[in-house]
Structure 1
Amino acid sequence: MLVKFALIGLLGIGAQWIAWRTGKPAIALMLIAGVLAGPVTGLIDPQRDFGALQQPIIKLAVAVILFEGGLSLNFRDLRHAGPAVLRLVVIGVPVGLVLGTAAAFYGAGLPLGISALFGGILVVTGPTVIGPMLRSLRVPARVRDTLKWEGIVNDPIGALLAVAIYAYITYIGPDRSAIAIGLDVAAATLIAGAIGVGLGFGLTTAFRRAYIPEYLKAPTVLVAVIAGFVAADLIKHETGLITVTLMGVVMGNRQTQSTAALKHFKEDLAVLLISGVFVILSATLQWEVVERFQARFLIFLFLLLFVVRPLTVIASLAFSKMPWRERLFVAWIAPRGVVAIAVTSLFALRLEDFGMKDADALVPLVFGVVVATIFAHGFSAGWVARRLGIDKGKGEGVLLVGANAFTTALGGALQKMGLTVMIADTAKFALRAARKQSLDVHQGDILDEVTQDTLDMQQFQHVIAATDNDSYNSLVCADLGPEVGQDKLTQTGVDETRLSRRRARMLLEGGETVDELQVRVAAGWAFGRTRITSVFPYEAYRARLAPEAEPVAVMKPDRRLLLFSTTQRPVVEPGDTMLTFAPPEPV
């Protein structure tokens, strides 16, 4: 079993890495990896390898994933996306349920009861898929926040709809009542919600009052998530999803000194769990299941992709303030993931045991939905965003933290190379020189959470911390590292007499401090550009460079900017453009 766990982790994380290197949808690659390891080669057979532990493993993983999703939901995001999210929940869920039921009944030919149950499940848009997909796109914040909130909020709603419909269609007795079943599910939901809110408030209060030591906070939260999920699930199946989601939302919006560290821990854990769960679930797909996939199911998939989702979103967002281009994009994006497969598989087994006709069609059908939506939406999302004109393009900008003579001169030079430059500083007066050069400026502390929420960090390919405070520069790089990636962070050199610990790579081969760089600017040093060609190669450029001058960066033909640092020397080729910081020529 240990070998299987290691193999699942290797395949999942390997697929994520390949997706990062190639820009392909991570979920699609994990799906392929699971199919290759499962039905194709037989290396992994979850039923054989894990037996009765398979379902609990998946359910607990989904609980942690949804908690992490709730933890990432910030009420500030609802300033622009709030009305759209509310409409997609209040209007979209019932419309999606009705249309999904009709598609399953008329398209897939399923009985009405099973069609309604499947339609209820399919109101979900998996956050396990939306997250990795949005990570590779640069779309407006309103679109991103709408899709993120919809995915996380609708997941437990879809599961609860399935619970209610299952209870109704399997109830045996003379007094079957939709109202009574609805009230029963509603009561269980309220209890589950109360458990989640209570745990969220309790833990954040305990953290604020230092009742729990720092090293026990992350383990305590993880245990509380599992315990809360199990407790609610004992009351009624699938209500635990409500518990963990609300618990995450409460903890994410009741800030403590440990919130940032907990978010980073949960994000790392969620990436690992998503990788593992997708490999396991796709490995469960057997050839017998594939053979049960019938031609009529293709009609259902067509209706789901091109009728159900578009009509649901159009009806929900009609007369809203969201621009029509953004509405069309949201109407197209609705991939399904872990929750859809896990919940459908669970109810398929129960319905088969109950003797319900065509219940065995649910498993191949849900896998068809997941595969179709992941590939259709995952591979087309970028293309659709570009066609609709809402794609902001690849982040090519540079953020300079700290307004001073050096950063203003550097920003001006980068702007002349065609790059977008922004200088951030807390002092309005310090930004005057940058404004005079028509550089974008941001007044505020870059470490402030509100600033990070309002500033799209994906627009920057580099963040250079160059304030006159070495410790603050290091703190900026340490704080932004998990969000933007350490490879995008650089700081000016540090004064070793004041700071011995380095947080990021240091700008320039000599690693000069910002004070030394400002002295050089005052002495007449300036930035210059040099085109590298086959006639004038990099070696000739270095030979003609003044002894004191330093190469700062090289810009590739695709507008990638590679910085020179104390530890890195980019490869320079013909067609590249060098940026040099050099002293004035002697008179």
Structure 2
Amino acid sequence: MEFWNIALLIASALLLASIVASAISTRVGVPLLLVFLVLGMIAGEDGPGGIPFSDFETAYAIGTVALAVIIFDGGLRTRRSRFRVALWPAISLAVVGVFVSAALLATFAAFLFGFSWLEGLLLGAIIGSTDAAAVFGTLRTQGASLKQRVAATLEIESGSNDPMAILLTVLVLELLAAGAVHLDALALLSSLARQFLIGGVMGVVGGQVLVLLINRLNLISGLYPLLAAAGGLLVFAITAHFDGSGFLAIYLAGVVLGNARLQSRQNVLRVHDGLAWLSQIAMFLILGLLVTPSDLLDTAWQGLAIALFLMGIARPVAVALSLLPFRFPWREQLYIGWMGLRGAVPIVLATFPVMYGLENASFYFNITFFVVLVSLLFQGMTVAPAARLLGIEAPPVPRPAQRITLDVPGHYEHEMVGFTVQPDCPACGRHIAALALPEGVVASALLRDGQPQPQYDTALQTGDFVYLIARRQHVDFLCSLFDPHAGPEYLDESRFFGEFTLNGDATLGDVAAVYGVEVPRDAAELTLHQWLSKAFHQRTVVGDSVPLGSAWLVVREIDDDRITRVGLRLPRP
């Protein structure tokens, strides 16, 4: 009994310290995952905490479950529209990119350490994939508002590249254990295809079953998030049992669930946000406890060399080759190449050689841990600055202060949304009755200093809180009405999109006649939608821009794969 009391004391103290430290790290720009990892190291046997922990199997089990929960939450927040522009590029990165990174790292490790190529490939396979927890967590906490094509590619890649990394790691380990010297490429491709096929089918089917269960069962509201979590983990376990990719399956189950009309939707999302953070904290604390910092010093120069080669050569080359057929703009390729964040997955994979009893297993683990530290420190801290430097940011989309799904049986499209009236917003100073609200949007309450006010007889002031009942498709418009600007000055809509808004069906000739800009003669009859779609190979996203004479055309709005509104940015004095 005394042991469990002490264990609970230590666990709760570490959890509390991690949460408090997160507030500090956000202010100074340090990635949260790095903070959790360092706290685990401080609590370990080499730190002031002095907690001895070397159970690799327990760390693997905790890391696997935690990662499944994190990937499920990432899937819940991935909009289906993102697959339009990023599915195949992300799959190419998840398969070709991982293998190219692993092969280049294998060659470098063989040269640096005197490894055989197969031993080098094991190290490459372990650290060759990006990490979903690191990518999802860092993009959210760093406040980087990226173009949809870039953000979607990074998120889908990190959620789907685990099968390749796990399969390659296990296959190389088995070959090394059996004394083989060559990699069977045919067996690798066959196993990978089976993992993707089973994982894909189980994820989609499992997600649809979960949607039916959540919408059909009449439960206490607090049980719906638990039903979603239990169902997602069941999909993960069943898929893994049948030799499919459990991580891919639970990610796709989350995507299906997150894009469906769902009972208690906001409740599910809110609870899973907390579960994902709890999983990240627990996983990185455990992995931090597992490492012995003094051992890292013995491999510091080797780890630094591998990390620099990975960030500067292997990842950029792998990205360039993987995205070659998709003609990504060079700035976006450069950013995706830099944002190859490593995190929990490589560390979890680095426990495999230890469990296999492989020679030099601790060396693999220490090198991997050092690479992850360097990646989180250098790449994690430059998410937002690199995006701004390369010009791939987009104006952030404002969100309601509160958002609750109205659980009317059989109708889950209505939401209660709450906004704080912001200074200089279109609604400020006007009566609610005078606002051009979309059809079906109804004002529910107006609060000022915590006191209800007459809705239609009171002019809105800065700081007022307004509740409205609306359909999901109207929320973005309401955001622009009450809170139109949520980003830095250089991303202000008028500066970013331009002074004028054009219809996507307008022709270039019309634009030239009205605004006096030069257009190519053979393109005068093309619409703005056709011109921009051609420029970006049918993968256009909001924020894409092309020059038109001395002006710029900027994609402002897309509806069902069609560009409906385009900004015209004229040269500034």
- TM above 0.5, yes or no, is yes
Maintained 8 Å contact 2:118/2:181:
no
Distance 1:211 1:111 in 2: 59
Number of residue pairs aligned between Structure 1 and Structure 2:
438
The residue type paired with residue 80 of structure 1 is: V
Maintained 8 Å contact 1:39/1:284:
no
In the alignment, what sits opposite 1:275?
281
TM-score by length of structure 1 reads 0.65
Aligned-partner SS, 1:469: strand
Task: Specify which of 349, 352, 358 is matched with residue 354 of structure 2.
Answer: 349
Distance 1:171 1:226 in 2: 33
Deviations 1:191-241 (A, max 9, x none): 4554444432222222233376654333233333334434444455x9432
Give how far 1:95 is off.
2.4
Maintained 8 Å contact 1:103/1:304:
no
Larger RCO (CA within 8 A; separation ≥ 6): 2
Which residues of 2 match residues 127-526 of structure 1 at below 5 A?
127-135=132-140, 136=142, 137-171=144-178, 179-180=186-187, 183=190, 186-187=193-194, 190-210=197-217, 214-236=221-243, 239-318=245-324, 320-345=326-351, 347-351=352-356, 353-354=357-358, 356=359, 358-392=360-394, 414-415=423-424, 421=425, 469-471=443-445, 492-493=446-447, 506=448, 512-518=453-459
The residue type paired with residue 169 of structure 1 is: L
Pair 350,181 (structure 1): closer, same or farther in 2 beyond 3 Å: farther
In the alignment, what sits opposite 1:106?
111
Maintained 8 Å contact 1:11/1:30:
no
Deviates more, 1:70-79 or 1:298-307: 70-79
Deviations 1:299-322 (A, max 9, x none): 222211100111112222236453
In the alignment, what sits opposite 1:92?
97
Distance 1:398 1:65 in 2: 24
In the alignment, what sits opposite 2:569?
none
Maintained 8 Å contact 2:103/2:124:
yes
Maintained 8 Å contact 1:63/1:229:
yes
Distance 2:137 2:181 in 1: 48
Maintained 8 Å contact 1:128/1:338:
yes
Which structure is larger by alpha-carbon Rg, 1 or 2?
Answer: 1
Which residues of 2 match residues 13-28 of structure 1 at below 5 A?
13-28=19-34
Give how far 1:68 is off.
1.7
Which residues of 2 match residues 107-122 of structure 1 at below 5 A?
107-122=112-127
Distance 1:146 1:366 in 2: 24
Computed over aligned residues only, the root mean square deviation of the Cα atoms, in angstroms, reads 4.0
The residue type paired with residue 38 of structure 1 is: G
Pair 282,398 (structure 1): closer, same or farther in 2 beyond 3 Å: closer
The gaps in structure 1 that reach 5 residues or longer are: 402-409, 416-420, 433-442, 448-466, 472-491, 494-505, 528-552, 560-587
Deviates more, 1:364-373 or 1:146-155: 146-155
Give how far 1:5 is off.
1.6
Pair 387,212 (structure 1): closer, same or farther in 2 beyond 3 Å: same
Distance 2:320 2:156 in 1: 18
Distance 1:96 1:288 in 2: 29
The gaps in structure 2 that reach 5 residues or longer are: 1-6, 404-420, 463-482, 490-573
Deviates more, 1:149-158 or 1:80-89: 80-89
Distance 1:152 1:176 in 2: 26
What percentage of residue pairs aligned between the two structures are identical?
25
Distance 2:95 2:297 in 1: 38
Aligned-partner SS, 1:470: strand
Maintained 8 Å contact 1:68/1:267:
yes
Give how far 1:333 is off.
0.9
Deviations 1:302-360 (A, max 9, x none): 21110011111222223645332222111111111111111222x12134x14x4x333
Aligned-partner SS, 2:86: helix
Maintained 8 Å contact 2:201/2:249:
yes
